[in-house]
Amino acid sequence: MSGLFDLSGKNAVIFGGAGGLGKLIAKAYAEAGATVAIASRSEEKLAAACEDLKEQTGKEFRYYVCDATDEAAVEATAEKANKEMGPVAIMVNSQGINKKVPVLDFPVDEFNKVMNANVTSILITAKHFGKYMKEAGYGKIVNVSSVRGKIATRGAGNAAYCSSKGAEDMLTKVLAAEFGPYGITVNAFGPNIMKTPMMNKVFEMRAGEAGITVDEYLKQQGASLPLRRMSDPEDCVGTALFLAAPASDFLTGNILYPDGGLTAVG
């Protein structure tokens, strides 16, 4: 058993690592022994997240300002991270955006922005970090997908998000097939909706429409799930750790669902 969840001696880069879920993943990997860097577009958010993470864990975190949709920026970040940290063995794609518009009104450039941020960015990060993992003969790529890659929403507005997550799931499988011979595993996990900056406004809007508080709204939404509650981002951390750890070394091309049972009954 010992060592199955140990990340000692491993370097990890987490895109979206200052976000609601990414930051928790950064903390868990550091606590499991990894040296962790976080990456995204806003230097202010990255610097603040590194301060928080240091306070919470007593460990040093580095950050890279990088737009994951910008290939030149990702190429430079991959080079810098592998030089400064040593071989990057773990790379997490927890970046993402959502744009909710009914199809009849959806501006095509907004649709493309979501696809770019949620799908094309994964091709780019896998391409440039994968090059170094191939040289090292070992790597773990963990993509944060969504239950919405598997089950469409009933209401209007989610055409871009659901399509992007479905594409992310297939890209995960294709990357697993191509990278497997290099000793690199590629897996994804799909959370249900959670309280993070990405969803807070949506929850406030839905709760406001129903004339209830956000907590009451989430309680209502969770009531029909097998585990009878909505997810917290913390509910995904164990899965994220598993997919980065030696415990999952023979698992690749899979999408796991820490979703309280939604996809089982959905």
Q: Among 30, 96, 140, 160, which residue interacts with ligand NAP (rule: CB under 6 A)?
A: 96
Give the nearer residue to ligand NAP in terms of CB position, either 40 or 248: 40
Mask of contacts with ligand NAP, 50-69, x by CB under 6 A? -----------------xxx
Cβ atoms of residues 179 and 130 within 8 Å = yes
- Give the residue, chosen from 76, 198, 247, 251, that forms a contact with ligand NAP under the rule CB under 6 A: 198
Instruction: Estimate the crossing angle of helix 43-57 against helix 20-31, to 10 degrees.
Output: 40
Q: Counting contacts by CB under 6 A, is residue 194 touching ligand NAP?
A: yes
Active-site entry in 161, 182, 217, 257? 161
Chain residue at closest Cβ approach to ligand NAP: 19
How far apart are the C-alpha atoms of 29 and 48, rounded to whole Å? 18
Q: Does 171 bind ligand NAP (CB under 6 A)?
A: no
Comparing CA positions, the residue from 92, 158, 84 lying closest to residue 125 is: 92
Is residue 260 a contact residue for ligand NAP (CB under 6 A)? Answer: no
CB of 134 to ligand NAP, least distance (A): 23
Q: Is 132 considered catalytic here?
A: no
d(CA 152, CA 150): 7
Provide, rounded to whole angstroms, the least separation between the CB of residue 111 and ligand NAP. Answer: 15
Asked if 144 is part of the footprint of ligand NAP (rule: CB under 6 A), the reply reads yes
Q: Which is nearer to ligand NAP, 94 or 248 (CB)?
A: 94
Binding site residues, ligand NAP, CB under 6 A: 15-16, 18-22, 40-42, 45, 67-69, 94-97, 117, 121, 144, 146, 191, 193-194, 196-199
